[in-house]
């Protein structure tokens, strides 16, 4: 059985829409390009191997997630980056950064205590609990 999910839905929370939009590498690349300067659909499509309609679909997803803003300049649609939803995603990630920082700190302490124990054993081999094969009774 194959399940086809719609890319975005009005029933999804804005955070969910933002993370779904950010999950696609092409959309992240579009956001990276908009970070440098505003651009039209044609300007954005120039750097992609996909078609212009595919880039337009990516922009629709980004617009629905409020990550980009569209404005008209004559006949052109120009897109610009809206950083506010990224701040919401970053706020959600903060707790995981704190978690991993604590875990890495604990790992560092463990490794350093192991290195100190090993250095102490090398300095005083009589305290070494390891029995070497030639020393077995």
**pLDDT tens, position by position, 57-97:** 999 999 999 999 999 999 999 999 999 998 888 888 888 88
Same domain assignment for residues 23 and 57 = yes
27 and 76 inside one domain: yes
94 and 61 both lie in a single domain: no
65 & 20 share domain:
yes
CATH code, 42:
1.10.10.10
Q: Do 34 and 56 belong together in one domain?
A: yes
Residues with Cβ within 8 Å of 70's Cβ and at least 6 positions away in sequence, in order, are 59, 63, 77, 78, 79
> 59 and 95 share a domain?
no
Has residue 133 been placed in a domain? no
pLDDT at 3 over 50: no
CA dihedral (49, 50, 53, 54) positive or negative: negative
Looking at the fold, whether 44 and 69 belong to one and the same domain comes out as: yes
What is the chain's mean pLDDT, rounded? 81
Rounded distance, CA 137 to CA 135, Å? 6
Residue 66's domain comprises 14-82
Sign of CA dihedral 114, 120, 126, 132: positive
Question: pLDDT higher for 50 or 21?
Answer: 21
pTM (2 d.p.): 0.65
Q: Assess if residue 3 is contained within a domain.
A: no
Task: Check: CB of residue 17 under 8 Å from CB of residue 65.
Answer: yes
Residue 77 lies in a domain: yes
* Model pLDDT for residues 116-131, shown as the tens digit of each residue: 666 665 566 555 555 4
């Amino acid at each position: 059985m194959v399940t086809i999910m719609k890319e975005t839905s009005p029933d999804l929370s804005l955070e969910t829409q933002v993370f779904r939009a950010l999950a696609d590498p092409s959309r992240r690349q579009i956001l990276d390009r908009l970070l440098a300067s505003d651009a039209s659909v044609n300007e954005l499509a120039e750097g992609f191997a996909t078609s212009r309609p595919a880039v337009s679909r990516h922009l629709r997803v980004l617009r629905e997630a409020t990550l980009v803003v569209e404005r008209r300049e004559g006949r052109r649609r120009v897109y610009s980056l809206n950083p506010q939803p990224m701040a919401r995603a970053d706020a959600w990630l903060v707790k995981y950064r704190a978690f991993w920082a604590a875990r890495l700190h604990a790992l560092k302490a463990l490794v350093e205590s192991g290195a100190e124990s090993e250095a102490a054993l090398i300095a005083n081999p009589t305290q070494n609990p390891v029995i070497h094969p030639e020393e077995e009774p």
